[in-house]
Amino acid sequence: MRFRLRDRVHDEHARLVMAIINRTPDSFYDKGLTWAAEAAYQRIREVVALGADLVDIGGIKAAPGVEIGVAEEKSRVVDFVAGVRSEFPDLVISVDTWRAEVGAAVCAVGADVLNDAWGGADPELVDVAAQYDAAIVCTHTGGVTPRTRPFRIEYDDVVASVLRDTLAYAERAVAAGVDPERVVIDPAHDFGKNTWHSLEVTRRIGELTATPWPVLVSLSNKDFVGETLDRPVGERLTGTLATTAISAWLGAHVYRVHEVRETREVLDMVSTIAGQRPPSVTTRGLQ
Protein backbone atom coordinates (compact mmCIF):
# COMPACT_ATOMS: atom_id res chain seq x y z
CA MET A 1 0.00 0.00 0.00
CA ARG A 2 1.16 3.50 -0.79
CA PHE A 3 -0.52 6.87 -0.93
CA ARG A 4 0.17 10.35 -2.28
CA LEU A 5 -0.29 13.76 -0.72
CA ARG A 6 0.69 16.50 -3.16
CA ASP A 7 3.79 15.08 -4.88
CA ARG A 8 4.96 12.98 -1.94
CA VAL A 9 4.58 9.22 -1.95
CA HIS A 10 4.25 7.39 1.38
CA ASP A 11 4.26 3.68 2.19
CA GLU A 12 2.53 1.57 4.80
CA HIS A 13 5.02 2.61 7.48
CA ALA A 14 4.27 6.33 7.16
CA ARG A 15 3.31 8.19 10.34
CA LEU A 16 2.53 11.77 9.38
CA VAL A 17 1.65 14.75 11.57
CA MET A 18 -1.24 16.91 10.32
CA ALA A 19 -1.27 20.19 12.27
CA ILE A 20 -4.65 21.80 12.96
CA ILE A 21 -5.08 25.46 12.01
CA ASN A 22 -8.47 26.82 13.05
CA ARG A 23 -9.66 29.92 11.17
CA THR A 24 -12.55 30.25 13.60
CA PRO A 25 -13.22 32.50 16.59
CA ASP A 26 -14.82 29.73 18.64
CA SER A 27 -12.88 26.48 18.26
CA PHE A 28 -13.29 24.09 21.20
CA TYR A 29 -9.56 23.83 21.89
CA ASP A 30 -7.78 27.10 21.17
CA LYS A 31 -10.77 29.45 21.57
CA GLY A 32 -9.88 31.52 18.51
CA LEU A 33 -6.10 31.63 18.96
CA THR A 34 -5.56 31.61 15.18
CA TRP A 35 -8.68 33.52 14.19
CA ALA A 36 -6.65 36.60 13.22
CA ALA A 37 -4.87 36.10 9.91
CA GLU A 38 -1.38 37.01 11.13
CA ALA A 39 -1.73 34.71 14.13
CA ALA A 40 -2.75 31.91 11.77
CA TYR A 41 0.22 32.54 9.47
CA GLN A 42 2.53 32.53 12.48
CA ARG A 43 1.07 29.23 13.62
CA ILE A 44 1.72 27.75 10.19
CA ARG A 45 5.36 28.81 10.47
CA GLU A 46 5.61 27.32 13.95
CA VAL A 47 4.14 23.92 13.08
CA VAL A 48 6.28 23.60 9.96
CA ALA A 49 9.36 24.32 12.07
CA LEU A 50 8.19 21.74 14.63
CA GLY A 51 8.02 19.02 11.98
CA ALA A 52 4.43 18.95 10.73
CA ASP A 53 4.12 17.02 7.48
CA LEU A 54 0.92 18.81 6.47
CA VAL A 55 -1.55 21.35 7.80
CA ASP A 56 -5.33 21.13 8.05
CA ILE A 57 -7.11 24.48 7.76
CA GLY A 58 -10.73 24.76 8.87
CA GLY A 59 -13.25 27.60 8.78
CA ILE A 60 -16.08 26.10 10.85
CA LYS A 61 -15.91 24.44 14.24
CA ALA A 62 -17.38 20.96 14.31
CA ALA A 63 -19.62 21.55 17.31
CA PRO A 64 -23.05 23.18 17.08
CA GLY A 65 -22.97 26.96 16.97
CA VAL A 66 -23.67 29.98 14.83
CA GLU A 67 -24.68 29.06 11.29
CA ILE A 68 -21.79 29.60 8.87
CA GLY A 69 -22.81 29.81 5.23
CA VAL A 70 -20.72 29.02 2.19
CA ALA A 71 -19.71 32.64 1.60
CA GLU A 72 -18.51 33.08 5.18
CA GLU A 73 -16.63 29.79 5.18
CA LYS A 74 -14.90 30.75 1.94
CA SER A 75 -13.97 34.16 3.35
CA ARG A 76 -12.23 32.44 6.24
CA VAL A 77 -10.17 29.93 4.30
CA VAL A 78 -9.72 30.69 0.58
CA ASP A 79 -7.44 33.73 0.74
CA PHE A 80 -5.60 32.19 3.67
CA VAL A 81 -4.90 28.98 1.72
CA ALA A 82 -3.64 31.11 -1.17
CA GLY A 83 -1.31 32.97 1.18
CA VAL A 84 0.03 29.79 2.75
CA ARG A 85 0.63 28.30 -0.68
CA SER A 86 2.55 31.41 -1.71
CA GLU A 87 4.77 31.32 1.38
CA PHE A 88 5.19 27.53 1.47
CA PRO A 89 5.11 26.27 -2.12
CA ASP A 90 5.91 22.67 -1.14
CA LEU A 91 3.75 22.31 1.98
CA VAL A 92 0.89 19.83 1.84
CA ILE A 93 -2.28 21.82 2.56
CA SER A 94 -5.52 20.18 3.66
CA VAL A 95 -8.82 21.98 4.16
CA ASP A 96 -11.43 20.70 6.59
CA THR A 97 -14.74 21.16 4.75
CA TRP A 98 -17.71 19.07 3.72
CA ARG A 99 -18.95 21.54 1.10
CA ALA A 100 -18.13 21.02 -2.57
CA GLU A 101 -18.29 24.74 -3.36
CA VAL A 102 -15.73 25.52 -0.66
CA GLY A 103 -13.61 22.57 -1.74
CA ALA A 104 -13.47 23.83 -5.32
CA ALA A 105 -12.51 27.34 -4.18
CA VAL A 106 -9.62 26.16 -1.98
CA CYS A 107 -8.33 23.65 -4.50
CA ALA A 108 -8.27 26.41 -7.12
CA VAL A 109 -5.79 28.36 -4.97
CA GLY A 110 -3.56 25.48 -3.95
CA ALA A 111 -5.15 23.05 -1.47
CA ASP A 112 -4.01 19.45 -1.88
CA VAL A 113 -6.39 17.55 0.42
CA LEU A 114 -10.11 17.82 1.14
CA ASN A 115 -10.72 16.58 4.68
CA ASP A 116 -14.42 15.77 4.77
CA ALA A 117 -15.17 15.35 8.47
CA TRP A 118 -18.88 14.72 7.82
CA GLY A 119 -18.90 11.51 5.85
CA GLY A 120 -19.97 12.65 2.39
CA ALA A 121 -22.77 14.99 3.43
CA ASP A 122 -22.20 16.82 0.13
CA PRO A 123 -21.97 14.06 -2.51
CA GLU A 124 -20.32 16.41 -5.02
CA LEU A 125 -17.16 16.79 -2.95
CA VAL A 126 -15.67 13.69 -4.58
CA ASP A 127 -16.16 15.30 -8.00
CA VAL A 128 -14.20 18.34 -6.85
CA ALA A 129 -11.35 16.15 -5.60
CA ALA A 130 -11.29 14.35 -8.94
CA GLN A 131 -11.35 17.60 -10.93
CA TYR A 132 -8.36 19.04 -9.06
CA ASP A 133 -6.45 15.76 -8.53
CA ALA A 134 -6.75 16.35 -4.80
CA ALA A 135 -6.70 13.77 -2.04
CA ILE A 136 -9.88 13.19 -0.06
CA VAL A 137 -10.41 11.97 3.50
CA CYS A 138 -13.44 9.68 3.76
CA THR A 139 -14.88 9.64 7.26
CA HIS A 140 -17.47 7.69 9.22
CA THR A 141 -20.10 9.66 11.12
CA GLY A 142 -22.96 7.23 11.39
CA GLY A 143 -25.05 9.45 9.15
CA VAL A 144 -25.36 12.35 11.59
CA THR A 145 -26.06 15.85 10.28
CA PRO A 146 -23.00 18.14 10.08
CA ARG A 147 -22.35 20.12 13.24
CA THR A 148 -24.63 18.06 15.46
CA ARG A 149 -23.72 15.90 18.42
CA PRO A 150 -24.68 12.23 18.57
CA PHE A 151 -27.55 11.37 20.89
CA ARG A 152 -27.95 7.81 22.14
CA ILE A 153 -26.54 6.48 18.86
CA GLU A 154 -26.22 2.69 18.71
CA TYR A 155 -24.34 0.23 16.52
CA ASP A 156 -24.50 -3.55 16.41
CA ASP A 157 -20.76 -3.36 15.67
CA VAL A 158 -19.28 0.13 15.42
CA VAL A 159 -16.13 -0.99 13.59
CA ALA A 160 -18.18 -2.93 11.05
CA SER A 161 -20.14 0.28 10.44
CA VAL A 162 -16.91 2.26 10.11
CA LEU A 163 -15.51 -0.19 7.60
CA ARG A 164 -18.71 -0.39 5.58
CA ASP A 165 -19.20 3.36 5.30
CA THR A 166 -15.60 4.48 4.79
CA LEU A 167 -14.87 1.78 2.22
CA ALA A 168 -18.06 2.65 0.35
CA TYR A 169 -17.07 6.33 0.40
CA ALA A 170 -13.59 5.46 -0.85
CA GLU A 171 -14.98 3.38 -3.68
CA ARG A 172 -17.37 6.18 -4.62
CA ALA A 173 -14.46 8.62 -4.72
CA VAL A 174 -12.48 6.36 -7.03
CA ALA A 175 -15.53 5.85 -9.24
CA ALA A 176 -15.81 9.64 -9.52
CA GLY A 177 -12.24 9.82 -10.80
CA VAL A 178 -10.16 10.40 -7.66
CA ASP A 179 -6.72 8.80 -7.91
CA PRO A 180 -6.87 5.68 -5.68
CA GLU A 181 -3.52 6.71 -4.19
CA ARG A 182 -5.14 9.94 -2.99
CA VAL A 183 -7.89 8.36 -0.90
CA VAL A 184 -7.64 8.22 2.91
CA ILE A 185 -10.15 6.78 5.39
CA ASP A 186 -10.90 8.10 8.89
CA PRO A 187 -13.00 6.38 11.59
CA ALA A 188 -13.73 9.87 12.99
CA HIS A 189 -13.43 9.46 16.74
CA ASP A 190 -16.28 11.22 18.61
CA PHE A 191 -18.18 11.99 15.37
CA GLY A 192 -21.42 10.01 15.51
CA LYS A 193 -19.98 8.05 18.45
CA ASN A 194 -20.04 7.97 22.21
CA THR A 195 -16.91 7.31 24.28
CA TRP A 196 -17.37 3.52 24.27
CA HIS A 197 -17.56 3.56 20.47
CA SER A 198 -14.40 5.64 20.09
CA LEU A 199 -12.49 3.40 22.49
CA GLU A 200 -13.54 0.29 20.58
CA VAL A 201 -12.54 1.90 17.28
CA THR A 202 -9.11 2.62 18.79
CA ARG A 203 -8.65 -0.97 20.00
CA ARG A 204 -9.57 -2.23 16.53
CA ILE A 205 -7.71 0.27 14.34
CA GLY A 206 -5.83 -2.71 12.93
CA GLU A 207 -8.98 -3.76 11.07
CA LEU A 208 -8.91 -0.43 9.22
CA THR A 209 -5.18 -0.54 8.51
CA ALA A 210 -5.67 -4.02 7.04
CA THR A 211 -7.68 -2.45 4.19
CA PRO A 212 -6.00 -1.09 1.03
CA TRP A 213 -6.44 2.51 2.25
CA PRO A 214 -4.26 4.68 4.50
CA VAL A 215 -5.89 5.62 7.80
CA LEU A 216 -6.13 9.08 9.36
CA VAL A 217 -7.02 9.47 13.02
CA SER A 218 -8.14 12.70 14.69
CA LEU A 219 -7.58 12.04 18.39
CA SER A 220 -6.31 15.33 19.71
CA ASN A 221 -8.02 16.42 22.94
CA LYS A 222 -11.24 14.69 21.95
CA ASP A 223 -14.13 14.13 24.35
CA PHE A 224 -13.56 10.37 24.52
CA VAL A 225 -10.11 11.10 25.96
CA GLY A 226 -11.57 13.63 28.39
CA GLU A 227 -14.31 11.28 29.56
CA THR A 228 -11.93 8.34 29.92
CA LEU A 229 -9.64 10.27 32.26
CA ASP A 230 -12.16 12.84 33.55
CA ARG A 231 -10.07 15.73 32.25
CA PRO A 232 -11.18 19.05 30.71
CA VAL A 233 -10.04 20.13 27.26
CA GLY A 234 -6.80 21.75 28.44
CA GLU A 235 -5.64 18.63 30.32
CA ARG A 236 -5.98 15.86 27.74
CA LEU A 237 -2.48 15.74 26.27
CA THR A 238 -1.32 12.63 28.14
CA GLY A 239 -4.42 10.68 27.14
CA THR A 240 -4.14 11.91 23.57
CA LEU A 241 -0.52 10.81 23.29
CA ALA A 242 -1.27 7.39 24.80
CA THR A 243 -4.01 6.91 22.22
CA THR A 244 -1.65 8.14 19.51
CA ALA A 245 0.97 5.56 20.46
CA ILE A 246 -1.59 2.72 20.38
CA SER A 247 -2.91 3.88 17.01
CA ALA A 248 0.60 4.16 15.63
CA TRP A 249 1.54 0.68 16.80
CA LEU A 250 -1.61 -0.63 15.10
CA GLY A 251 -0.59 1.05 11.84
CA ALA A 252 -2.49 4.34 11.44
CA HIS A 253 -0.79 6.70 9.02
CA VAL A 254 -1.89 10.34 9.51
CA TYR A 255 -2.46 12.09 12.86
CA ARG A 256 -4.51 15.28 13.01
CA VAL A 257 -3.22 17.12 16.08
CA HIS A 258 -2.88 20.34 18.05
CA GLU A 259 0.43 19.46 19.75
CA VAL A 260 2.92 18.89 16.94
CA ARG A 261 6.25 18.40 18.70
CA GLU A 262 4.89 15.94 21.27
CA THR A 263 3.07 13.94 18.61
CA ARG A 264 6.11 13.87 16.33
CA GLU A 265 8.23 12.45 19.16
CA VAL A 266 5.65 9.77 20.01
CA LEU A 267 5.39 8.71 16.38
CA ASP A 268 9.16 8.65 15.93
CA MET A 269 9.54 6.55 19.08
CA VAL A 270 6.95 4.05 17.88
CA SER A 271 8.57 3.89 14.44
CA THR A 272 11.95 3.24 16.02
CA ILE A 273 10.66 0.54 18.38
CA ALA A 274 9.00 -1.08 15.37
CA GLY A 275 12.35 -1.15 13.57
CA GLN A 276 11.25 1.26 10.85
CA ARG A 277 13.40 4.24 11.90
CA PRO A 278 16.91 4.32 13.40
CA PRO A 279 17.56 6.13 16.68
CA SER A 280 18.75 9.71 16.23
CA VAL A 281 21.85 9.08 18.37
CA THR A 282 23.46 5.75 19.38
CA THR A 283 26.47 6.50 21.57
CA ARG A 284 25.37 4.65 24.71
CA GLY A 285 27.92 1.93 25.55
CA LEU A 286 30.43 3.32 23.05
CA GLN A 287 31.99 6.05 25.18
Please, what is the Cα angle at 194 between 189 and 220, to 5 degrees?
35
- Provide the pairing of β-strand 16-22 with 254-257: parallel
- Catalytic residue flag (residue 61): no
222 is catalytic: yes
Q: What does the alpha-carbon distance between residue 267 and residue 264 come to, in Å, rounded to a whole number? A: 5
Residue type, 236: R
Rounded-to-10 torsion of CA 148, 24, 7, 110: 110
Q: Which of 222, 231, 264, 277 is catalytic?
A: 222
Residue from 63, 54, 70 nearest 26 by CA = 63
Contacts of 202 (CB under 8 A, 6+ apart): 189, 219, 243, 246, 247
- Rounded to whole angstroms, what are the CA distances from 116 to 22, 98, 187? 15, 5, 12
Q: Which of 256, 261, 264, 284 is catalytic?
A: 256
HEC letters along 132-174: CCCEEEEECCCCCCCCCCCCCCCCCCHHHHHHHHHHHHHHHHH
Active centre residues (catalytic): 222, 256
